Chain A
């Protein structure tokens, strides 16, 4: 009986001890739950076209997160006490604010979006993922508003805020490197070599710092490889030499077994950038030996590029042929390799071999993009050689295959690809009216697909070619309004202006 009396006493003791649990853990849970529910609401009710009432409802849900778990409370708590739970809560709150900015941008209120991102960048400044992401979002919003000059400043801030190693996952932060590469390309393209080099030096400095902290870590190997990649971008002989030194260090690291292949590939790229193609081929082959079938494509691609740079197209085609014949490759790799081999052979005037490779692509993977491209290239190749009968025969064969595909396949993307090819094949054999109908039909049916927009452009170009300028303008205007990608809409707007400038 005394034992039975002990049970409540023990339970009380357990509760007493348990009651000392961390309140922040529960707060983080509530914050994550509120953010998750708001995001869920967004995906549930905003899958349809943007409706202002619905957007406001989602905005309110996100705002509730930022108000209930305010930056003014959790950010100082993280900075003063270093409490990682406080940082997590601030991060959740910051994510909610970024979502609010994204929503404003999606409904076209770019100024409001910029204000939200700016506020997030300032309020959550010490919480690096939020500060970093808000700068990126701000840059994207500025770019969307055609303010590229201001966007570069924010891209650069993001790149300089980025961490080379994510402190949470302790993995390389791919996004930081992607943003840095983007900014360096901006500067290089605009002729601001000093700015590009300054950022590159900052990246190398950040990597060196991370390497210093993680010298005995398997992550060090990845950092050496990244260091080399950043240096190769500048292309100076001294940088290339330093890059190869970094990579030899990565290869020599006893913890780098799993990354050896990456290091070999990076060494190959370094030698290719330096113009030493023999070494590039050699490292590509080493990487191939260390690659499983599912990762073979990158190594063979490097080898092929090195051979092409050395002017040895036959050897490049042979490498791709070897890859295409390899067993247990992931879906599409063999087709891509065979197609690239065919294009190389065609460029090298090895016509019969090229045709055979194109036919092989069409026979082995008839629904792939490469198969449809092969049909077109076969017809163009015969036309270029002045063989119109063979061109027509190939086009008829291609049209039969496309019609069979359209009769049996329901996948909208494959069907769109097939219809686009059908229009192009008709145009290639001189049936402009048929081609025009096919392109316009595809644009009308699938304006949201890239193939649909492409068909719209080709229909407009064909109308212009047939001197039906009004039709061409109307098609370009439709694309400028309905195409999903901003770049496509811009191209269509420019085409309309060009046609209008060139007169009736």
Chain B
């Protein structure tokens, strides 16, 4: 499959995913993931409320310092704080939701019977293998996120160096994501073992790179405005609306969930097309 065919495949799969995503049977796992994330965000944003403060306030104070328990400093820290606490939930429930959807979509493509409950259970059983397979992705996310920030801070870099390194890290992380996005479908649907999945990745990554690039880029575009708006939460505070930071984060969460569902469907569809290739 040449590069143009790959890009067209990605576009077709992304387009088809919108129609397929309208089936309610695909939503439960994503609702569980979204519910957990929203509950966590609410707990962090209201960490001083007596209902949650016994657990949430010490957590916030230990991660962001005691100043984060004051108004409006909490909203300044909230995006970074949530990103840190949310990472394990996304790694665990996000991988599970992606696995469930991949199973259902491939079953639909194969015109096989697909039982939603069975898909939930089956993905749950394969989850440990998927988590192990995705360890390089988690390591890369940490190294190119917090790791790079710590390293730049340690060597006292500033200005252009920080911008250039952050941009490079972002591009590397994005390309790594494009390469590794096949793991849920390989481990959960293809039932590959961890080593087999890693072995298969270069071949699949090479054949489907263009398709994955298109799908992930299209999934990222609607999230970009939220990411940009939340890059400097201080501006919302300066404008006199600290609470908007939390509202924007809710919006970002919902959009990210929808885009996650669409991207997972599109990747699963692309896999069904690519596995037929010799």
Contact = CB atoms under 8 A, between A and B. Distances in A.
A15 interface: yes
B55 A17 contact: yes
A19 B53 CA distance: 8
A212 interface: no
A494 B185 CA distance: 87
B72 interface: yes
B48 interface: yes
Interface string B29-72: 00000000000000000001111111111000000000001111
A36 B48 contact: no
Contacts of A28: 48, 70
Contacts of B242: 36
Given A32-B71, A33-B71, A26 B240 contact: no
A18 B48 contact: no
Contact of B71 (A14, A18, A22, A29): A29
A338 B50 CA distance: 61
Interface residues of A, number: 18
A21 interface: yes
Contacts of B55: 14, 17-18
A23 B51 contact: no
B54 A26 contact: no
B interface SS class: loop
Nearest to B43: A18
A193 interface: no
Contacts, number: 52
A25 B69 CA distance: 8
Contact of B53 (A25, A32, A33, A40): A25
Nearest to B238: A40
Contacts of A40: 240
A20 B240 contact: no
A20 B54 contact: yes
Given A40-B240, A44-B240, A26 B53 contact: yes
B71 A36 contact: yes
Given A28-B48, A29-B48, A32-B70, A22 B240 contact: no
Interface string B225-249: 0000000000000001010000000
A44 B238 CA distance: 11
Interface string B78-97: 00000000000000000000
A23 B240 contact: no
A18 B70 contact: no
B50 A19 contact: yes
A333 to B, nearest CB: 20
Interface of B: 48-57, 69-72, 240, 242
10 contacts: A14-B55, A18-B51, A19-B54, A22-B50, A25-B48, A25-B53, A26-B49, A26-B50, A32-B72, A33-B72
